[in-house]
Structure 1
């Protein structure tokens, strides 16, 4: 008995399109051109916000003992116009991790300034904050504005931008296990050195874009402050653009509060990672 050529070809196609998942390393892709949140957002007008600055293209998490290397790809060459010293300036990202896949275990609320929630079955245990700000500033902001969650917030010991990639190294305090079984969500925001109110170094989205404000949202506090996220299965398929927009859909009440908040899911994790679709039974070749 020999495996049919059809079955082999189907298996090969499935593996090519699947996200890369191994015991200590996971990688996901995101479509280009979807850096507009729910489909309506526009960049600030200042020239430092280049086209593609917040367009996530790929994400890799690799565990190395008690540390992990994280890499984020963007759809433009990174620059440091504000002299942050880390090789990038306008980008910021929050990497939420669900380690157990259990509804009700973890948090569905996010950090101040993002205005998104997670579905209960995707509650997160840890979040990594990727920022061009120095770690002392980030930790101080977390302590002042997200004290209840500070034990679950990981701030990298090293963050660097080069070419189109932002890379970081983080200590995995309290984060043990197999990353291929975890679920991830990356929320792309913009580094704001003078954040409003209780926002954690994030840039606001308003109804109309301004020099340093995103537009296409709402002047209240009901719109998601997320410019790009992972969606679908994290393969970078065109269908994931629609999936992103559906997750980031929101509805505001008359007073500017959230009537229907944007609710996120995650990619990767608890389902069999690289299993192809059910195959036809092998047929004997004559």
Structure 2
């Protein structure tokens, strides 16, 4: 299984644009089904492809880092969220040195593979900035390494975010590992979930289906590198994902 995952990651199209030190990762289309069984909620706001990440880019700009998430479907804002988009939510995990955190954030039910621990996690949400800051407290000891994003916007198929560099490890980006976890913006999260929407056994108007109701499955729609990383076995194996690096290309 591990060899298959590594092969999938190696096959992922990676490119680095030297002019602006942009790091760009292209993800396969049509893999927005979690571990392979995930089913979108039934409400029509959850259109096909709205959680299907196509390209992720990170570019240093001024005193910050500009992030772009290109999705397969056009971005809408039918819920009139302040960020200019409604159903999507992203967690960008960054690995800059050996070690790091091997557990995910509350509401994701994921772990990180050996040599893929993270030092920073960026939360890109359409919720008000103050709400995101408050929710990050649910991360407990991990919270100081979790960065809420205030500057978000959307146009066409792309959601953008701007993160101050003083909240991130030292550049260059080529030395960092990245993983982008696509989730769904949930204004009324359950228990200690960090604004995430759960994957249940059966889909509903505002719930994903194709998982289990025991809350041991990954509550994740798409990740860089393919859905093979999201396999799990309740009680024994948590979904474990890998970082992607520009140097892997």
TM-score, normalised with respect to structure 2? 0.90
- Once residues 87 and 18 of structure 1 are traced to their aligned partners in structure 2, the CA distance between those partners, rounded to angstroms, is 28
Q: Is the 8 A contact 2:23 2:59 kept in 1?
A: yes
Q: 5 Å matches for 1:56-71?
A: 56-71=53-68
Aligned residue for 1:137, secondary structure, equals helix
After superposition, the C-alpha distances for 1:120-144 in whole angstroms (9 at most, x for unaligned) are: 210000011010001111000002x
1:148 counterpart = 2:134: no
Give the RMSD, CA atoms, in angstroms: 1.4
**Structure index of larger Rg:** 1
Candidates 205, 222, 228, aligned match of 1:246:
228
- Once residues 70 and 49 of structure 1 are traced to their aligned partners in structure 2, the CA distance between those partners, rounded to angstroms, is 23
Q: In the TM superposition, what is the alpha-carbon distance from 1:19 to its structure 2 partner? A: 2.1
**Pairs aligned (count):** 235
Q: In the TM superposition, what is the alpha-carbon distance from 1:66 to its structure 2 partner? A: 3.1
Q: In the TM superposition, what is the alpha-carbon distance from 1:252 to its structure 2 partner? A: 1.1
Structure 2 partner of 1:83? 80
- Once residues 85 and 132 of structure 1 are traced to their aligned partners in structure 2, the CA distance between those partners, rounded to angstroms, is 6
- Once residues 217 and 118 of structure 2 are traced to their aligned partners in structure 1, the CA distance between those partners, rounded to angstroms, is 21
1:34 counterpart = 2:31: yes
Q: Is the 8 A contact 1:126 1:152 kept in 2?
A: yes
* Runs of 4+ residues deviating >4 angstroms: none
Q: 5 Å matches for 1:61-210?
A: 61-100=58-97, 102=98, 105-143=99-137, 145-172=138-165, 173-210=167-204
- Once residues 175 and 64 of structure 1 are traced to their aligned partners in structure 2, the CA distance between those partners, rounded to angstroms, is 15
Candidates 231, 234, 239, aligned match of 1:262:
239
- Once residues 132 and 18 of structure 1 are traced to their aligned partners in structure 2, the CA distance between those partners, rounded to angstroms, is 27
Q: In the TM superposition, what is the alpha-carbon distance from 1:151 to its structure 2 partner? A: 1.6
Aligned residue for 2:159, secondary structure, equals strand
Q: Is the 8 A contact 1:157 1:171 kept in 2?
A: no
Aligned residue for 1:109, secondary structure, equals coil
Aligned residue for 2:115, secondary structure, equals helix
Q: In the TM superposition, what is the alpha-carbon distance from 1:261 to its structure 2 partner? A: 0.3
Q: Is the 8 A contact 1:154 1:171 kept in 2?
A: no
Structure 2: which 5+ residue stretches go unaligned? Answer: 1-12
- Once residues 109 and 21 of structure 1 are traced to their aligned partners in structure 2, the CA distance between those partners, rounded to angstroms, is 31
Q: In the TM superposition, what is the alpha-carbon distance from 1:154 to its structure 2 partner? A: 1.2
Q: In the TM superposition, what is the alpha-carbon distance from 1:65 to its structure 2 partner? A: 4.3
- Once residues 51 and 246 of structure 1 are traced to their aligned partners in structure 2, the CA distance between those partners, rounded to angstroms, is 21
